[in-house]
Amino acid sequence: MNKVSVFRKEHFNAAHRLHNESLSADENARLFGRCNYPNYHGHNYDLIVQVTGEIDPVTGYVMDLKVLSDLISEQVLERFDHKNLNLDTEEFRNLNPTAENIAVVIYNRLRPFIDHTKELKIRLYETERNFVEYPG
Amino acid sequence: MNKVSVFRKEHFNAAHRLHNESLSADENARLFGRCNYPNYHGHNYDLIVQVTGEIDPVTGYVMDLKVLSDLISEQVLERFDHKNLNLDTEEFRNLNPTAENIAVVIYNRLRPFIDHTKELKIRLYETERNFVEYPG
Amino acid sequence: MNKVSVFRKEHFNAAHRLHNESLSADENARLFGRCNYPNYHGHNYDLIVQVTGEIDPVTGYVMDLKVLSDLISEQVLERFDHKNLNLDTEEFRNLNPTAENIAVVIYNRLRPFIDHTKELKIRLYETERNFVEYPG
Amino acid sequence: MNKVSVFRKEHFNAAHRLHNESLSADENARLFGRCNYPNYHGHNYDLIVQVTGEIDPVTGYVMDLKVLSDLISEQVLERFDHKNLNLDTEEFRNLNPTAENIAVVIYNRLRPFIDHTKELKIRLYETERNFVEYPG
Amino acid sequence: MNKVSVFRKEHFNAAHRLHNESLSADENARLFGRCNYPNYHGHNYDLIVQVTGEIDPVTGYVMDLKVLSDLISEQVLERFDHKNLNLDTEEFRNLNPTAENIAVVIYNRLRPFIDHTKELKIRLYETERNFVEYPG
Amino acid sequence: MNKVSVFRKEHFNAAHRLHNESLSADENARLFGRCNYPNYHGHNYDLIVQVTGEIDPVTGYVMDLKVLSDLISEQVLERFDHKNLNLDTEEFRNLNPTAENIAVVIYNRLRPFIDHTKELKIRLYETERNFVEYPG
């Protein structure tokens, strides 16, 4: 049978700063511009989690979106919402919190909890005009 | 020549209830929660139909979106708009009207009317935060 | 001091049918068209609650939007979400559940819980293209 | 002649933390919850500036929205975009940066530059679901 | 009884150019910038028509939004949709088609057809970021 | 390493008319309907440019979205914004400016400036309900 994707949209608000500690202050300013300002800025991150698989004939679901929503809350929102990504999280202590890296981190946090027969893809909006997608 | 996708967005409003008649009332309540309430609830369904193929050099179109819009009206909106999916439609008399199943049914209703050289994909938003995609 | 408005957006999904029992079936069909279909249809209702008053100098808030969100959940969402407005609610047993009437009902449910020095206004979207506003 | 309103939408990204220094840590935590976390979080602020007045018969404009956009950039975005409102701005050194207070501050920064025959109103979205409006 | 507003959103696509024939070419270029380019540009105009009045106790409507939608189609969309406002319409032959002026023209076209006991207000989006409102 | 996509959304406003000069007036009217009106109409085009590749471990970027935004401004917006596509551009002098063809033209203009190890995809919204995608 053909596969169907289901999507759940969530959001979280966080502060961050783009900075690579192995580079000079000048180089950081050149690479990251306003995003390198020392005291952090922040975003309303919109997160869309896509799970792809076959429809379960009993439920008519690929995956219960309530279950997916709870999983995202536990694994992502509890960890990142209203946090400073650089200061408050282990994941970004030594990893620059670009949208690309945040999407990969979210993928890796969710992947163990999604049935291995199903595919997972992450889309993350940093703003309405800047966003990323990671298919694993 | 490379292929281009064209998309047309339409919407319809319908009532439904998630329920599997072969399961007990308790099991239905456990699986579907509020979506199993007996007297139905409803949604503004946003439907995006994607058709992929080569551009016709005479028109510059992959497919005239006015023609696609009319086709969606005839095959989908006339049938489902302002209806109770469980009670008023043949398709969901014995099929649980989850977003996944509705997307598959819409795909199957449209596929015979789309040129066989073209691909068809369905995206259906049950809410802004819960949606599905079916590529056939 | 000048007043500030704060707004909280929530949503609920419900089934309804427009129908006036004191009119004939023909008259109902003429007045309400597809919205009068007997087995109900439904909507994703987007609700925006506006509270206007002075800023509390201690908190910097007109009203804590978390408190407002909880109040809307208790008084509106718990009552109407995933319900059939005509069948499952006292409010619309004898009142046609048009967007106008739903907005007035929501206003009247919330008004006693909002500080009487503050103004309350309700905006309700039945669809993205049809919506209403009630300032009390 | 009757008056017309013109609106210009802009946005900025900033970090902030809700905190009242004259209250205890416990009281701050109780009042502001997750918004009081010590290391800041952030938002994509959407700002809508409304100017109301008569149409100039020569231009057909109430106010040139390019001029208004440039004014917002100079007076608001240059000052707040990619900044930490608590640490990097004079305005919020001793004023809690709630959406209400930010809207009032923006109003006061723009008011001197808008023709005094015209009315000014500020709408500020902290998130899609939490927003405020200040009419001066 | 208190009044309720109902809103209907429609859209049309049109070309236009901002130009005042009584001014020099240089003055037009200075005033209107890119909007003065000689061969026209265009917009997807989003139009929101607001009608305010008392709820009819028989229907539960302030005004049937299907009737309002049909009226907008006849009086506005048929006239302006897919047209060049400067060349194809009487209204803007000698009136600069700024958003402000278009809103006033739409108001004046609709006003005779709306019950005189009801208020009418027009909101017109030229783009998502530039819009106007005319309350008559 | 797995690849990540980054997306940048921009927009431009343009006039156009669908017309194939090698066909008769009647045939053009039949094929393109209102879009063939002689004096042009217009749109707010929303453009989403997607670039796919590996994350640079130094920056955490697939591609700096500021650089991509500047590139889109130079290659697309400067050329098409506030222009009449049929009259003011070389690209559409002999090519019907359908959304499909505009997307292909934009792809071809951007492709030489995107690192050849990265994939490029174009999504173009002519309206909220009609849009196209070209993956090259």
Is C43 noted as a catalytic residue in this protein? no
3 state DSSP class of A77 = helix
Chain mean pLDDT for chain A: 97
Quote the strand ranges of chain A, DSSP E. 4-16, 41-53, 83-84, 119-125, 130-134
Name the residue among C43, C87, C88 with its Cβ closest to that of B13: C43
Name the residue among F98, F128, F134 with its Cβ closest to that of B61: F98
Among residues A11, A41, A78, A82, the one annotated as catalytic is A82
Chain C positions touching E60 (Cβ under 8 A) are 18, 20, 95-98, 100-101
Among residues D119, D126, D128, D133, the one annotated as catalytic is D126
Residues 6+ positions from B66 with CB-CB distance below 8 Å: F33
Q: What is the pLDDT of residues A95-122, one digit of tens each?
A: 999 999 999 999 999 999 999 999 999 9
Pairing of the two strands E130-134 and D4-16 = antiparallel
Touching partners of D (3+ C-beta pairs < 8 Å): A, C, E
How does pLDDT run along chain F (136 residues), one tens digit per residue?
689 999 999 999 999 999 999 999 999 999 999 999 999 999 999 999 999 999 999 999 999 999 999 999 999 999 999 999 999 999 999 999 999 999 999 999 999 999 999 999 999 999 999 999 999 9
- Percentage of residues in chain D having pLDDT higher than 70: 99
pLDDT for residue C5 is more than 90 = yes
pLDDT for residue C108 is more than 90 = yes
For residue D78, give its domain range.
3-134
Type and span of the H or E element at C10: strand C4-16
Among residues C16, C19, C43, C126, the one annotated as catalytic is C126
- pLDDT band for position A2 (50/70/90)? confident
Are E83 and F13 an interchain contact pair (Cβ–Cβ within 8 Å)? Answer: no
Q: What is the pLDDT of residues A31-47, one digit of tens each?
A: 999 999 999 999 999 99
- Distance in angstroms (rounded) separating the CA atoms of residues A18 and A89: 14
Are E59 and C130 an interchain contact pair (Cβ–Cβ within 8 Å)? Answer: no
Rounded to an integer, the average pLDDT of B91-108 is 97
- Distance in angstroms (rounded) separating the CA atoms of residues D40 and A16: 9
Rounded to an integer, the average pLDDT of E73-97 is 97
- Percentage of residues in chain A having pLDDT higher than 70: 99
- pLDDT band for position C2 (50/70/90)? confident
pLDDT for position B54 = 98
Are B60 and F134 an interchain contact pair (Cβ–Cβ within 8 Å)? Answer: no
- pLDDT band for position B55 (50/70/90)? very high
Chain E: which residues have CB within 8 Å of chain F?
Answer: 11, 13-16, 34-35, 37, 39-44, 81-84, 87-88, 127-128
Q: What is the pLDDT of residues C37-69, one digit of tens each?
A: 999 999 999 999 999 999 999 999 999 999 999
Which CATH number characterizes residue E16's domain? Answer: 3.30.479.10
Touching partners of A (3+ C-beta pairs < 8 Å): B, D, F
pLDDT for position F2 = 87
Helices (H) and strands (E) in chain C, counts: 5, 5
Is A35 noted as a catalytic residue in this protein? yes
Label residues F16-33 b or e (16+ Cβ within 10 Å = b): bbbbbeeeeeeebeebbe
pLDDT for position A54 = 98
Size of interface A-D (CB pairs under 8 A): 75
Chain D: which residues have CB within 8 Å of chain E?
Answer: 2-10, 55, 58-62, 64-66
**Number of domains chain F contains:** 1
Rounded to an integer, the average pLDDT of C15-44 is 97
pLDDT for position D2 = 87
Using alpha carbons, select from C50, C46, C40 the residue that is nearest to residue C81: C46
Tell me if ipTM is over 0.85: yes
pLDDT for position B108 = 98
- pLDDT band for position B2 (50/70/90)? confident
Rounded to an integer, the average pLDDT of C85-113 is 97
pLDDT for residue C1 is more than 80 = no
